């Protein structure tokens, strides 16, 4: 038996306000019927589209959604809410369109938020205020003295709810914690036990977040084991499943308990709690448990953040400041990052989560109405596909289709940036599209591939996108552009995309430059507009500058970048305009031919002696591209001035380079390359002889 809290000052039950002591279950049936009738009248008033909304009408609209009310009343509430939203938005369209153009939807949303937010916040603040009132905790303390099981359960749930708010958890005394710990240890009432465990877990998190010493020692591993047992060992879990899942969502953040949770038997049982619903209406009753299970899986699969160079420097400075502060505060205990969150451990947990059936849960979550559930599903997909070994299973489970469902739930337009939350599912889809054929990812329907181009382009263009996200989106677009000319042409029509790609082409990161160069190469091959943009037509000075950039990218150290850039030049030289632009660059700077000749002979230098003594071998792909470029440039149909052309070829030492190539001094080449090289060598001889 537990003594009442502050017994010397305890008030009689009659001294408290009636609202403190009255329980919802004590309401009479007549009162309930009157309330329903009053709500019906207020909803009817809203359906008549009043010019202004009364507080009673708004309150009735919110209360009408309570599960305790009849389905017919809730259906009318949905209709009233839809009417209210439609009226508010339509009344703002004309005025907002005049002032802000495309911002009408945002203005309507802000207006509706302004209507409902004060009402909801006021209720939360009122509940918190009542809980903190002097004497209310004393009242609750009287209820934990040999209470009935239903009363104990409701009190434990009340403390669990209050523990989630910092202002409320700070006033919960140690005596209440002692009672909760005793209830968490008893075995006769599983529902009460789970509620008490949840309250203790939330209290520990609240105390830690406030920077205070917890009122009890956290027992995360013990609580995890207990909650696992009550879920795994009981088929009838509907009375406490929400509390159990919520408790595990808090516990799963702790790296120490993650190996305990990463159990195939337990996770299979946990994931089976989510029904395989085919419609959002069927999923409505499982929204809370679905979100909790998604958060647990997300915490198990979460990788440590990948920090950029600037972010790493900031982290070092923060750690230095923290270490200085800890030296002056002996009470602070340093917590080093856990090795259990290392990539190896996370990859192992991801495989366990997949084998336990998370893909079926993600299928359901992708079609959920809850934005939070869809966002959690997208983050889980992103973590799962981080390991290339998991991507095949994700594709087999319909991951690409479900990610597109999550993406399409956000309004994507090219006139404005979508919310940053949509970047996560797009990045996950991009990872799948990088390592697999477009047919494997999107199916044989070309329309699905074309639909994916828009989100990938948004990821490249979004101001909040990281360098890694932009790189992966460019790689995905490169794969699509190589599939067929239709995809390449669609990519080329995206507003501002090519300009952004050309900016990223000069990025400091080698992989980003390579990806952009490969995308440009594939677009030149598949899109007539991009071919003309880069000199395959009368592009003028702008096209000439773009060819110059491609020539520069053909002379970098990274071989894949050189292959892409020189491949683009080889295709462009099939057009006489591009050949004339390259020749003009050679006459101006005397470097264009030297860059292309180094594709064939990496040791090509001005000093002929040093070239002959060099044993460097060229890459067969680069050699092929260099030979094709010179074959096209020296084509007699290009109508280039022969005298100047001869001077520039002699300056670049092309005759000597091709002679070495034909002799096999630059490595073994295919017969097709040698045949083209022989044609170029013949044209050089004819050009030098003046024939």
* Same domain flag for 394 and 424: no
**CA-CA-CA-CA torsion sign (355, 361, 366, 371):** negative
* Same domain flag for 564 and 587: yes
Rounded mean pLDDT of 340-355? 92
CB 546 within 8 A of CB 535: yes
Does residue 47 belong to any structural domain of this protein?
yes
CB 393 within 8 A of CB 359: yes
Does residue 150 belong to any structural domain of this protein?
no
Out of 24-28, 205-209, 298-302, 575-579, the most confident range is 298-302
pLDDT of residue 118: 54
Question: pLDDT-derived band of residue 461, with 50, 70 and 90 as boundaries?
Answer: very high
Does residue 79 belong to any structural domain of this protein?
yes
Note the pLDDT tens digit of each residue in 653-669: 899 999 889 888 888 88
pLDDT of residue 126: 60
Does residue 436 belong to any structural domain of this protein?
yes
* Same domain flag for 496 and 383: no
Does residue 231 belong to any structural domain of this protein?
no
Which of 139 and 458 is assigned the larger pLDDT? Answer: 458
Rounded mean pLDDT of 611-618? 52
* Same domain flag for 277 and 379: yes
Q: Helix 220-232 crosses helix 241-251 at what angle (to 10 degrees)?
A: 150
Note the pLDDT tens digit of each residue in 51-94: 666 667 777 787 787 767 788 887 888 888 888 777 766 665 55
In the chain, the largest separation of any two C-alpha atoms, in whole Å, equals 119
Does residue 429 belong to any structural domain of this protein?
yes
Give the range of the structural domain holding residue 56, as residue numbers without chain letter: 36-83
CB 93 within 8 A of CB 100: no
* Same domain flag for 418 and 442: yes
Q: For residue 293, with 0-12 CB atoms within 10 Å meaning exposed, 13-18 middle and 19 or more buried, which class applies?
A: buried
pLDDT of residue 9: 36
pLDDT of residue 48: 77
Which of 207 and 480 is assigned the larger pLDDT? Answer: 480
Question: What value does the mean pLDDT of the chain take?
Answer: 80
Which of 236 and 397 is assigned the larger pLDDT? Answer: 397
Does residue 668 belong to any structural domain of this protein?
yes
* Same domain flag for 358 and 429: no
Question: pLDDT-derived band of residue 614, with 50, 70 and 90 as boundaries?
Answer: very low
SS3 60: helix
3-state SS track over 558-593: CHHHHHHHHHHHHHHCCCHHHHHHHHHHHHHHCCHH
Q: Tell me, what DSSP letter sits at residue 65?
A: T
The CATH number given to whatever domain includes residue 672 is 1.25.10.10
* Same domain flag for 469 and 572: no
Contacts of 55 (CB under 8 A, 6+ apart): 119
Residues of the chain above pLDDT 70, percent: 76
Does residue 538 belong to any structural domain of this protein?
no
* Same domain flag for 677 and 579: yes
Q: Distance between CA atoms of 178 and 176, rounded to whole angstroms?
A: 5
Q: Distance between CA atoms of 584 and 572, rounded to whole angstroms?
A: 15
Q: Tell me, what DSSP letter sits at residue 145?
A: S
* Same domain flag for 393 and 260: yes
* Same domain flag for 414 and 492: yes
- The total domain count for the chain is 4
Written as six digits, the tokens of 673 are 């390359």
Q: Distance between CA atoms of 58 and 169, rounded to whole angstroms?
A: 30
* Same domain flag for 417 and 465: yes
Which of 569 and 276 is assigned the larger pLDDT? Answer: 569
Question: pLDDT-derived band of residue 474, with 50, 70 and 90 as boundaries?
Answer: very high
DSSP string, 83-140: HHHHHHHHHHHHHHHHHHGGGHHHHHHHHHHHHHHHHHHHHHHHHHHHHHSTTHHHHH
Q: Distance between CA atoms of 596 and 548, rounded to whole angstroms?
A: 12
Note the pLDDT tens digit of each residue in 100-128: 444 444 555 555 555 555 555 555 566 67
pLDDT at 611 exceeding the cut of 60: no
- CA distances to 22, 92, 136, 147, 592 from 6, rounded to whole Å, are 22, 56, 12, 18, 90
Of the residues 494, 526, 558, the one at which a domain ends: 526
Q: Distance between CA atoms of 137 and 174, rounded to whole angstroms?
A: 12
* Same domain flag for 556 and 684: yes
Which of 116 and 473 is assigned the larger pLDDT? Answer: 473
pLDDT of residue 494: 93
Note the pLDDT tens digit of each residue in 246-297: 999 999 998 989 999 999 999 999 999 888 865 666 677 788 899 999 999 9
Question: CB neighbours (10 Å) of residue 101?
Answer: 10
DSSP string, 204-239: HHHHHHTTS--SS---HHHHHHHHHHHHHS-S--TT
């Amino acid at each position: 038996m537990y003594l009442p809290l502050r017994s010397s000052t305890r008030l009689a039950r009659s001294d408290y306000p009636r609202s403190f002591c009255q329980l919802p279950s004590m309401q009479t049936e007549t009162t309930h019927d009157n309330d329903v009738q009053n709500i019906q009248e207020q909803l009817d008033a809203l359906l008549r589209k009043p010019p202004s909304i009364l507080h009673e009408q708004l309150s009735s609209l919110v209360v009408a959604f309570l599960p305790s009310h009849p389905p017919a009343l809730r259906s009318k509430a949905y209709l009233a809410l839809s009417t209210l939203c439609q009226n508010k938005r339509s009344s703002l369209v004309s005025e907002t369109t005049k002032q802000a153009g495309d911002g009408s939807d945002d203005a309507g949303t802000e207006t509706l938020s302004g209507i409902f937010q004060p009402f909801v916040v006021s209720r939360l603040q009122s509940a918190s205020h009542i809980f903190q009132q002097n004497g209310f905790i004393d009242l609750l303390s009287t209820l934990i003295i040999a209470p009935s099981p239903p009363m104990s359960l409701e009190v434990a749930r009340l403390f669990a709810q209050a523990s989630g708010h910092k202002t409320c958890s700070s006033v919960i005394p140690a005596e209440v914690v002692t009672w909760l710990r005793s209830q968490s240890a008893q075995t006769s009432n599983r529902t009460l036990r789970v509620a008490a465990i949840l309250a203790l877990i939330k209290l520990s998190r609240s105390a830690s977040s406030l920077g205070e010493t917890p009122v009890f020692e956290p027992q995360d591993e013990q609580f995890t084991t207990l909650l696992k047992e009550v879920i795994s060992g009981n088929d009838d879990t509907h009375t406490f499943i929400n509390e159990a899942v919520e408790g595990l969502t808090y516990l799963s953040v702790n790296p120490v308990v993650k190996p305990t949770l990463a159990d195939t038997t337990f996770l299979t049982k946990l994931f089976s709690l989510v029904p395989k619903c085919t419609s959002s209406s069927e999923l409505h009753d499982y929204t809370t448990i679905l979100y909790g299970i998604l958060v647990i899986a997300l915490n198990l699969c979460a990788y440590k953040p990948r920090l950029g160079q600037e972010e790493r420097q900031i982290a070092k400075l923060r750690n230095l400041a923290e270490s200085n502060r800890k030296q002056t505060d002996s009470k602070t205990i340093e917590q080093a990052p856990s090795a259990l969150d290392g990539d190896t451990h996370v990859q192992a947990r991801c495989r366990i989560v997949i084998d336990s059936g998370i893909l079926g849960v993600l299928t359901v979550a992708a079609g959920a109405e809850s934005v939070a559930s869809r966002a959690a599903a997208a983050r889980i997909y992103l973590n799962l596909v981080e390991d290339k070994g998991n991507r095949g299973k994700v594709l087999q489970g319909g991951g690409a289709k479900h990610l597109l469902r999550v993406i399409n739930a956000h309004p994507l337009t090219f006139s404005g940036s979508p919310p940053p939350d949509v970047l996560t599912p797009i990045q996950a889809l991009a990872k799948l599209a990088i390592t697999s054929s477009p047919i494997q990812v999107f199916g044989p329907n070309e329309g699905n591939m074309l639909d994916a181009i828009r989100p990938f382009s948004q990821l490249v263009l979004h101001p909040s996108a990281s360098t890694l996200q932009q790189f992966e989106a460019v790689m995905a677009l490169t794969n699509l552009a190589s599939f067929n000319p239709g995809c390449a042409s669609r990519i080329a029509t995206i507003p501002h995309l090519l300009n952004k790609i050309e900016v990223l082409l000069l990025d400091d990161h080698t992989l980003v430059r390579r990806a952009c160069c490969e995308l440009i190469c594939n677009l030149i091959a598949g899109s007539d507009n991009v071919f003309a943009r880069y000199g395959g037509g009368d592009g003028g000075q702008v096209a000439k500058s773009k060819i110059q950039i491609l020539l520069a990218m053909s002379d970098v150290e990274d071989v894949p970048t050189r292959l892409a850039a020189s491949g683009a030049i080889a295709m462009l030289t099939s057009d006489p305009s591009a050949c004339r632009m390259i020749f003009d660059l050679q006459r101006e700077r005397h470097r264009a031919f030297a860059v292309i000749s180094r594709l064939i002979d990496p040791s090509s230098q001005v000093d002929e002696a040093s070239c002959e003594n060099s044993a460097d071998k060229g890459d067969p792909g680069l050699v092929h591209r260099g030979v094709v470029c010179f074959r096209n440039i020296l084509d007699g149909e290009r109508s280039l001035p022969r005298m100047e052309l001869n001077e520039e070829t002699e300056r670049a030492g092309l005759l000597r380079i091709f002679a070495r190539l034909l002799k096999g001094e630059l490595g073994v080449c295919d017969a097709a390359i040698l045949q083209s090289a022989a044609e170029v060598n013949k044209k050089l001889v004819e050009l030098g002889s003046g024939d």
